[in-house]
Chain A
């Protein structure tokens, strides 16, 4: 049952985040940048559920965003799949049980995704201004994402924990 419930919860989280992003959060231009709740949700999912969930959630989120925006299909999927996998690996290794892991992941992922998006758009011949993307929008985006990290991470952890029994030792086995 858990095998089905977990992906369903992740799917619903990603779907809601993508819809909110394209219809609400993208319009909130504050100091030149807009928060990215899809990336924040992805950070939560990847840190709490690992790299495979992170990559799959990133791919699904990217497809939804590109479909809703009628953008080049696959661009956002590629960026978020790599971001989700990297954050998941970080959570499974050095970031395990570190309180600052969500903040580090959000800051680094925001910067790398923005650089990656700029590079991909250049490769596809889209007219993009590096100054606007990196100087005007990026600092504000990083700041806004860091401000929203804690509430979105807490919400993601709560949703992923719904209907799941708390983990704990049910039996003590003496070794040696």
Chain B
């Protein structure tokens, strides 16, 4: 009996691994996920008050130490916001004078679908989460996923009423990113430490330093374009160093998004017009 179940599991793995994403077993799994979804949403809703209460107490403990630092940041950002508002106005005027054609921009060219995070595999084995919205909400594979803090990841599997989101901390996922201060470009992806990111392929001729804000670059080349639109915050540089043997900067980035249990809801950016 146990032997047959082991054999059946191996057969399932083999078929699932070999068949294409739209194959029969994937379809059955997608249907099963749709059936399980109400139970997951129910359990998540029951647990949410307890999780919120835990988060509240944990937050209060850190609030005092954060308060002073945030006050200084508010002062700095207030001045920055005034300068930025002027720059945005000037930018719009110059664009209209030049008849400038922009690439798709976030959030203007996207319809965001707000949805709950309803399932997670063990974090040490997989960097994916399940969300409660799927193809019925217009979501497709490779749609970018964000939250209020910044870039979360991208959609990698879609069922009719659910989807799998691969987080930016997955070693297989990288995004082109740019240092907002110096415009140094690189690839941002999973770092060495847990929940950290690195900005790779930044040329030594560029300038990067701790405290710089990293955002998505959103490149566009002929008919190809990056799946992540430009300007989504990714994280802040925590350390940047170069040595003689390396070709590129070694840049550690602290993500703005908390990929742990506090990631409870996300926005899937569904493009208003999809390329055919």
Question: What is A's interface to B at a CB cutoff of 8 Å?
Answer: 19-20, 22-24, 26-29, 32-34, 36, 51-52, 55-56, 58-59, 62, 64-75, 77-78, 81-82, 84-85, 117-118, 120-121, 124, 126-129, 132-133, 136-137
Contact = CB atoms under 8 A, between A and B. Distances in A.
Given A27-B51, A69-B119, 20 more contacts: A22-B40, A24-B43, A28-B261, A52-B1, A52-B2, A56-B5, A59-B9, A65-B121, A67-B29, A68-B119, A68-B130, A69-B121, A70-B128, A70-B162, A73-B13, A74-B11, A74-B13, A124-B13, A126-B126, A132-B194
Interface residues of B, number: 47
Given A77-B9, A78-B10, A85 B2 contact: yes
Contact of A69 (B6, B16, B120, B260): B120
B171 A26 contact: no
Q: DSSP class of A's interface residues: helix, strand, loop or mixed?
A: helix
B9 A78 contact: yes
**Residue from the set B41, B121, B159 with the largest chain A CB neighbour count within 10 Å:** B121
B77 interface: no
Interface in B25-43: 25, 29-30, 32-33, 36, 39-41, 43
B16 A74 contact: yes
B9 A27 contact: no
A29 B119 CA distance: 14
A68 B13 contact: no
**Residue from the set A19, A24, A128 with the largest chain B CB neighbour count within 10 Å:** A24
Nearest to B126: A71
A51 B9 CA distance: 17
B120 A132 contact: no
A134 B41 CA distance: 31
Contact of A26 (B36, B120, B157, B162): B120
B163 to A, nearest CB: 8
Contacts of B125: 117-118, 121, 126, 128, 133
**Residue from the set A59, A85, A118, A121 with the largest chain B CB neighbour count within 10 Å:** A59
Interface of B: 1-2, 5-6, 8-14, 16-17, 25, 29-30, 32-33, 36, 39-41, 43-44, 47, 51, 118-126, 128, 130, 157, 159, 162, 164, 170-172, 194, 260-261
A120 B5 CA distance: 17
Contacts of A71: 121, 126, 128
19 contacts: A22-B118, A23-B44, A26-B120, A36-B122, A55-B5, A56-B1, A67-B36, A68-B119, A69-B121, A74-B14, A75-B13, A117-B122, A118-B125, A120-B13, A127-B172, A129-B124, A133-B125, A136-B124, A137-B122
Contact of A70 (B41, B130, B170): B130
Contacts of B47: 23-24
Contacts of B29: 66-67, 70, 73
Contacts of B39: 19
Contacts of B121: 22, 26, 65, 69, 71
Contacts of B171: 127, 129
Given A32-B194, A70-B130, A137-B124, A78 B6 contact: yes
A67 B33 contact: yes
B40 A77 contact: no
Contacts of B44: 23-24
